Structure 1
Amino acid sequence: MMVRIRTMARLTGIREATLRAWERRYGFPRPSRSEGNNYRVYSREEVESVRRVARLVQMDGLAVSDAIAQVSHAPLDGLPGVDRLTARFWPAARLMDTEEMSRVLSNARDALDVDTYCDGFLLPLLREMSSWLDVAREHLASSLVRHRLWQVLLSVESLALGPRALLACPPGDFHEGGLLGLGVQLKRKGWRVTMLGADTPADALRAACAQVSPDVVALSFVQGRERAEFQSLLEEALRACSPLPVVVGGPAARAHLMTTFNMGAQYAESAEELIALWNQARSAQNRP
């Protein structure tokens, strides 16, 4: 893949004038010249190198010269496995290259263990998408990543008699990536998982609780909400799940911790914390 400077600017967020200035001042990037019209053209690797420089400058606070030096001394082929795969994924996502994104995801699945594949690769991709992609590209890329998380969740065997967790997102919340990651972690720890997924109404929660009798219900609040709306949704969920214990997580829940605790729910950041809360509840019930 070779792209011209206008596409390079769109893919990386670095203006054309800035790219030309970097080329004059630092010798970076180093485009080829197209035959005939002598336009600057850049390879996929150069696109990703510029993106890495932009990230070091914008997110890590490095000076441009230091960021370029760091990228130049650590070419893409020399990066650790997860970093190299991530570096391949973003240019493909910006070009809406579904085949290349699928290849990267398959390469990651084959090269990484399950925990690294989910926690170190797929979930970080989902968390960063809104920072690097517009709405259309984010929608396409996130659907591919969520599909891979579903595949992992379904492939992990759980103990036949293990405790059961019912997992869901509240109404209007379609960000189920973190919930899928939680499901994978719980299944790997011997739990059984019933995944209702995104945009789950209270009636569906009530019906699922009656059907599968989970040991705990986990709700993921990602979509930002005002306190009154968050309180209303959580109140409906607690009524639907009563008397089962409810644990909430996600950035929207983190923003309303006091409301969460006052309403009788618990908050957890990880599968380990959820399991610890469940064990505490069991111990309290068994006390004379």
Structure 2
Amino acid sequence: MTLRIRTIARLTGIREATLRAWERRYGFPRPNRTESNYRVYSREEVENIHRVAKLISEGLSVSEAIAQVRSAPVAELPVRERLEERFWSAVMVLDGEAADRVLGEAQAVMAVEPYVDTVLLPLLREMGHRLDIAREHLASALIRQRLGALLLAEGARPGGPRVLLACPERDMHEGGLLALGLHLKRRGWQVTFLGADTPAEALRGACVQLNPDVVALSCVRRREADELRQVLQSAVEACAPAMVVVGGQGAREHLKVIFGTGAQYAESTEELVALWQQARGASNRT
């Protein structure tokens, strides 16, 4: 499958005139031509354009970026990088089966946690500024499916602390939350995953039934401070007396708001576990 120059410009953020200028001056990219003399680009050319754009954003000149991509074609990249480039190339042409095969190949040669932390989560973080909406939905769905299957396949270990995982109302990005659940489950925690767009009343009902030690909320969607304060106040009240720990890029810029509602903030699995251990220690001393 090939793509026309207008589509490439929309996906990469590089204007059609710029792509034509690069082609004239540097011989890059090298599209094929249709019978009507329209430029069409292969998967590999599309990915090479993305790689050039990324290098330019990191400070290289156009000529340096093109030279670097030419000197290290996709086939010669390290295994993990090569798999990532193949994944992006398949997503670019909306080939979900090919993209999923790439994820499967990576999973087959890696341990679970490195696979999640060095392949799946970086892909999730990068797609927001790399893909248009349709391609982002395709790619994120594939990765969520992989994370969900890993979480379900991980055997439960009774007796550990219990955590309830959810995204608050109107927050639909649950990939990072799935990864957190997997990491906690592998550390012996009992995990209940509620997922995206969970209102406070649903949290209340789950807490009444499960009595969790921790409720972890993933806030990826950006909100104004007042909106986040309202959302978290409702969640903290609904989940009491369980500790509420908030994470995600939508929360990072509002730490004062988070602490003001009585919630805690964690950047990683390790930080969440440390917060719970501190709270448990304080409770025991009391």
Q: For this structure pair, what is the TM-score category when the shorter chain's length is used for normalisation?
A: over 0.9
Aligned residues: 286
Counterpart contact for 1:11–1:91, Cα < 8 Å: no
Aligned residue number for residue 16 of structure 1: 16
Runs of 4 or more, structure 1, over 6 Å off, are: none
| SS of the residue 2:203 aligns to | helix
Q: Please give the per-residue CA displacement for 1:179-227, whole angstroms capped at 9, x wherever unaligned.
A: 1111111112121210001011111111111222211111111111122
Cα distance between partner residues in 1 of 2:162 and 2:236: 18
Query: What are the equivalent positions in structure 2 for 1:1-288 lying under 5 Å apart?
Result: 1-33=1-33, 40-58=39-57, 60-287=58-285
What runs of 5+ residues in structure 1 fail to find an aligned partner? none
The residue type paired with residue 205 of structure 1 is L
Q: Please give the per-residue CA displacement for 1:109-136, whole angstroms capped at 9, x wherever unaligned.
A: 2232212221111112222222122222
| SS of the residue 2:241 aligns to | coil
The residue type paired with residue 50 of structure 1 is I
| SS of the residue 1:243 aligns to | coil
Counterpart contact for 1:11–1:47, Cα < 8 Å: no
Instruction: Kindly state the Cα deviation for residue 2 of structure 1 after the two structures are TM-superposed.
Output: 4.1
Summarize the Cα distance change of 1:203–1:7 in structure 2 as closer, same or farther, 3 Å threshold. closer
Summarize the Cα distance change of 1:13–1:225 in structure 2 as closer, same or farther, 3 Å threshold. closer
Summarize the Cα distance change of 1:112–1:230 in structure 2 as closer, same or farther, 3 Å threshold. same
Cα distance between partner residues in 2 of 1:153 and 1:260: 28
Instruction: Kindly state the Cα deviation for residue 11 of structure 1 after the two structures are TM-superposed.
Output: 4.2
Summarize the Cα distance change of 1:40–1:235 in structure 2 as closer, same or farther, 3 Å threshold. closer
Summarize the Cα distance change of 1:22–1:236 in structure 2 as closer, same or farther, 3 Å threshold. same
RMSD: 1.9
Cα distance between partner residues in 1 of 2:159 and 2:101: 37
Counterpart contact for 2:52–2:65, Cα < 8 Å: yes
Cα distance between partner residues in 1 of 2:123 and 2:164: 25
What runs of 5+ residues in structure 2 fail to find an aligned partner? none
- Give the TM-score taking structure 2 as reference length: 0.92
- Give the TM-score taking structure 1 as reference length: 0.92
Counterpart contact for 1:219–1:249, Cα < 8 Å: yes
Cα distance between partner residues in 1 of 2:152 and 2:203: 21
Instruction: Kindly state the Cα deviation for residue 32 of structure 1 after the two structures are TM-superposed.
Output: 4.3
Cα distance between partner residues in 2 of 1:261 and 1:4: 50
